[in-house]
Amino acid sequence: MNLIWLIPCLPLFGFLVLLVAGRKLGDPGAGWWGTGVVAASFLVVVKVFFDLLALPEEERSLTQTLFTWIPSGSFEVSIGFLADPLSILMCLFITGIGALIHLYSIGYMKGDEKFSKFFLYLNLFLASMLLLVLGDNLLLTFLGWEGVGTCSYLLISFWHTDPANASAGKKAFVTNRIGDFGFMLGTFLVWITVGSINYADIGPAAPMIAGGTATAIALLFFLGAVGKSAQLPLSVWLPDAMAGPTPVSALIHAATMVTAGVYLITRLNPIMAQAGWANDVIAWTGAITALVAASIAIAQTDIKKVLAYSTVSQLGYMFLAVGTQTYVAGIFHMVTHAFFKALLFLGAGSVIMAMSHEQDMRKFGNLRKYLPVTFATFMIGWLAISGIPPLAGFWSKDEVLAGAFNAGPAGPVLWFIGLLVALMTAFYMTRVVIMTFYGSEKWRLTDDPHEAAESADLESEEVESEELVTASVAAAAHGDGHDDHHGLSPDHTPQESHWTMTAPLVILAGLSILGGAINLPFGSDFKRLEHWLEPTLAYEHELPPVPVLVLLACAAIAVASLGIFLAYLVYSKQKIAVEKIERPVLAHAWYIDETYAKVAGGPGEAGFQGLADFDGTVVDGAVNGVGAGVLGIGNKLRPIQSGFVRSYALGISIGGALLLAFIVTRMNL
Amino acid sequence: MLALNETWYLVLAAMIFTIGSVGLLTRKNPLVMFMCVELMLNAVNLTFVTFSKALDDIAGQAIVFFVMVVAAAEVVVGLGIIVAIMRRRQGANADDISLMRG
Amino acid sequence: MRVEMFTFLLTAAICLAGSAGVVLLRNPVHNALSLVATLFGVAVLFIQQGAYFLAAIQVIVYAGAIVILFLFVIMLLGVDKAEGIDRDPILGQRTAAIAAGVAILGLSLTALLSVGSRVTGQASTLAAIDGSEPNINALAKVLFTDYVFAFEITSVLLTVAVVGAVVLSRKAGSAIDVAEFPEGTTADLLQAKHDAAAVEQEVLEEVATEDETPEGEAETTEEALR
């Protein structure tokens, strides 16, 4: 029994039902329905997983072709699914974490007027994501790729009445277009070179591809991956994407969609094996992105922005891994990252909920007293991402770093950058934890004059409505779209979230602790993930020998501890001035956004204006000239159309006679 | 005496076709023009059947069947148009209806 | 052989005479009757070549239905008077028409007669006519296998033609008027009509009681009310 088709079709079915009856199901019915279909899909994935496990290692690849989608000469695309170790691994954590986040969203989105629409988008997203992963050819993957992009756009601007959210969605969409362009060109090039876009054909054909062509294909697909996975220079959209609801940030912009680029590169590893220096480009892009993003995360005050830059930085790690052709490490880190980053985002969401949608960490503090479950799980996420053994993050990060160390002459440099990133990661995550869960309850301080006025107004009941107006005006005047002042009053008492929100936190915390167990470096028997992925990987770079591995691991642990200690000194003991660390250049994200805006607004705009002028005069001139010419000729020919039907018939007759004459002359009489 | 073969039929069909086409071009009464079109269609049907027999292929007769269906549909719509026009202009002929000129 | 030749020549003469009648006779009714003669002739030629089913259809559909339809329209419109065919209003139309006709006939005859008496095409291998099988069976077999899609399309075509004819022959200048088909049951409609009539009656009585009202003005009011 082949059930692969059910995996993406279940969420799609959920989407269709919500489309028709979403409003009827309402709150929380629509949420439970959405969660249910994803959970069912997860069960199907588990079933397929065990089916695969039952097969001998070399045959672990099930394909299911539903029908031919585009039959066009020798170019034929079918709707077919490929379930092999790589795609099923992806499906496992996509549907698993997806179901948890759906469950979480029931609590998080409670009372939202677009409750059912949220789940409708989430289900559509999961259907597209599963299509992306399971598609057995590049075009089907592209369909999913665009689908997740669309859902990402819809969900980022979910609360689109705020212009900032709407423009954040637009930014994500436009930035992704640049990457998609690379994806499409890559697909065309594969079609020209291999003559097929099915993965089953690309794999065997890859060794025959010439080095230069393979490099070009690799770079084009990497451009697509850069857009989707928010690497430099296209990383600007992901931090803004935090405008969406927090479960969306956790699911789409941390755990699943943004890792699609890593998946794509891993899926095309037979081509990458031929691609030569394109791999170095990938590795260096990953390393530099990781470094830059981690440095920016240090100076952010919005809790979700810290996590967003952290995600960009961790994605950099994954690209570092696939660039050094240690795909197992990349996928391993992708899985563990999905666990702990989803956990951190959901924990942050729980905090944000408890603080009346306030996201500024400067207003948090001492929340461990009020949110025990969130606190405990967040601590686990913190330790996992910081790289403290034996939590999941340590093992995967260590493998990425070890792979980088062994990658040719530049390896140690890449390794050192990775180590620096690990230091920063431990530092900024400790900063988040201290600012949020320890220290004094800073939202009770009323040093801000605006808030003081607000609290004074709150006491007098009769001016309440007037106060609301002034507050909203003031908030608008602040101009900071992400800092919604949802009335966090000094006498606010945070409350722990509903069980639908804490249950996913607990499960994800468990996974963050144990996730490393899927690939432990203690010997061949423990490397389960590596064995599992082996059939899908054409080439895997060796890790360094064991003594070196141990040394590298010790260095990583030392650096992580150092990062935590430094952050403790700065934010808890206040031995070092905060201003020395949080430089403005970091807070402004190295002015990358500003530079893009300047370029696009200055020389870019002039260039586009030039193009527009060219279009207005030359292109339109040609078009209008053709039009005028046709009009003139038409006026000359008008009398021929006399309106007498018999004249027309005569024309036909004469034409027929002439045709007949032509035939007769060709008859070899 | 000459033997009867396909050419006889084809020549006859060509004659009927020519008469029909000349009639179509010269007559002004739209009804008669329609009849001339029917003549031409019949001539063509005759060639189809002739070739069907000569080439031993039943498909030729199938096509005649379709031609007849199309002719029936055409007559229904065509006569409908003529009736509609005649209602507005009594005794109009084909040349009177020349509004759609350039 | 002699009989066949004789039949052919006789039918060919009828056909040609009939078609000449269609073109040359002035009265549309005579034209239609001439057309029937040609159609019958062609039906005979069909039989002579083994197309029995088509011959039957020719008589039933063409002669039976189409020509009757022609005659019906002729009678309906009252155009059964002779048409002047002395001169053509379009300059040179008749000359050109005859020239084109001569060209077509001449060229086809050249083509037909110059290659001798044989048809040069390839004999069919796919849908060969099996002598033992009745003509209707053979035709039905291809119609419902190879040409079944085309066959179904013809049914759509006929439906469209019927709908088109109905639309065309509605009363001139009247699109479907919504007021003609108001919503509600027949009982409701009758009630509404009754009510409207009662109101009108009342108004008329009111107008009638106002003696000073001039006749013309009362009428205008009535018109306006309607």
Nearest of A343, A303, A341, A346 to residue A107 by alpha carbon: A346
pLDDT at A456: 45
Q: What is the pLDDT of residue B21?
A: 94
C-alpha–C-alpha distance, residues B58 and A161, integer Å? 70
The confidence score (pLDDT) of residue A17 equals 92
Residues in chain B: 102
Give me the residue spans of the domains in chain B. 6-88
pLDDT for A622 beyond 90:
yes
Question: What is the pLDDT confidence band of residue C126, given thresholds at 50, 70 and 90?
Answer: low
- Work out the average pLDDT over A302-311: 90
Tell me the pLDDT band of A630, cut-offs 50, 70 and 90. Answer: very high
Residue from A640, A641, A644 to probe the interface with B (highest B Cβ count within 10 Å)? A644
Residue corresponding to tokens 């020998």: A545
Whether the Cβ atoms of residue A249 and residue A68 lie closer than 8 Å to each other: no
Residue A483 confidence (pLDDT): 40
Chain A residues touching C23 at Cβ < 8 A: none
Dihedral sign from CA coordinates of A229, A233, A237, A240: positive
Q: A353-410, pLDDT tens digit by residue?
A: 888 888 888 888 888 888 888 899 999 999 999 888 888 888 888 888 888 888 778 8
pLDDT at A128: 93
Percent of chain C clearing pLDDT 90 (strictly above): 33
Query: Token pair for residue A541?
Result: 């770079």
The reported pLDDT for the residue numbered C217 is 47
Q: Which residues of B touch C30 (CB under 8 A)?
A: none
Residue written as tokens 């709707």? A79
pTM greater than 0.90: no
Tokens coding A549: 């591995």
The size of the B-C interface in CB pairs under 8 A is 253
pLDDT above 70 as % of chain B: 96
Q: What is the mean pLDDT of chain A?
A: 84
User: Residue C124 in 3-state DSSP?
Assistant: coil
Instruction: Say whether pLDDT at A631 is over 90.
Output: yes
**Which residues of chain C have a CB within 8 Å of the CB of A644?**
90
Nearest residue to A227 via CA among A218, A215, A235, A219: A235
Kindly determine whether residue B101 and residue A650, on different chains, have CB atoms separated by under 8 Å.
no
CB atoms within 10 A of CB A461: 7
Per-residue pLDDT band for A201 (boundaries 50, 70, 90) equals confident
Residue written as token pair 């994605």: A315
Chain centroid to Cα A561, Å, comes to 29
pLDDT in tens, B50-86: 999 888 888 889 999 999 999 999 999 998 888 888 8
Query: Position C220: which residue type?
Result: T
CATH tag, B6-88 = 1.10.287.3510
Taking residues A539-556, report their average pLDDT. Answer: 83
Pairing of strands A62-72, A75-83: antiparallel
Percent of chain A with pLDDT over 70: 93
ipTM of this complex: 0.91
Chains with 3 or more CB pairs under 8 A to chain A: B, C
Numbered residues of chain C with Cβ closer than 8 Å to any chain A Cβ: 90, 93, 96-97, 100-101, 103-104, 107-108, 110-111, 114-115
What token pair was written down for A512?
A: 């963050």
Q: How far is Cα A304 from Cα A297, in angstroms, rounded to an integer?
A: 10
Give the burial class of A212: count Cβ atoms within 10 A of its Cβ; 0-12 exposed, 13-18 middle, 19 or more buried: exposed
What is the pLDDT averaged over residues A464-475?
Answer: 42
Q: Cβ(A426)–Cβ(A386) under 8 Å?
A: yes
Exposure letters A125-159 (e unless 16+ CB within 10 A, then b)? bbbbbbbbbbbbbbbbbbbbbbbbbbbbbbbbbbb
- Give the mean model confidence (pLDDT) for residues A542-558: 85
Q: What is the pLDDT of residue A362?
A: 82
Is a pLDDT exceeding 80 seen at residue A193?
A: yes
**DSSP code of residue C176:** P
pLDDT at position C117 is: 52
**Three-state secondary structure call for residue C119:** coil
Q: Give pLDDT, residue A572.
A: 81
Inter-chain contact B35–C90, Cβ cutoff 8 Å? Answer: no
**What separation in angstroms does the CA of C8 have from each of A89, A189, A443, C16, C36?**
82, 68, 111, 12, 18
Quick one: pLDDT band at residue C82, thresholds 50, 70, 90? low
Predicted confidence at residue C78, as pLDDT, reads: 76
pLDDT tens digits for range C152-184? 999 999 999 999 988 887 765 555 444 554 555
3-state class of A112 per DSSP? coil
For Cα atoms C135, C136, C138, give the angle at the middle one, nearest 5 degrees. Answer: 65
Q: Are A349 and A279 in contact (CB under 8 A)?
A: no
Amino acid at C103: A
A87/C81: higher pLDDT:
A87
What does the pLDDT look like over A103-159, one tens digit per residue? 999 888 888 888 888 999 999 999 999 999 999 889 999 999 999 999 999 998 888
> What's the mean per-residue pLDDT of chain C?
79
Chain A, nearest residue to C103 by Cα: A657
Tell me the Cα Rg of chain C. 31
Per residue in C180-225, pLDDT (tens digit) is: 545 555 566 666 777 777 777 777 777 766 554 444 444 454 455 5
CATH architecture for residues C1-80: Up-down Bundle (1.20)
Residue A320 phi, psi dihedral angles, 5° rounding: -60, -40
Distance CA A328, CA A320 (A): 12
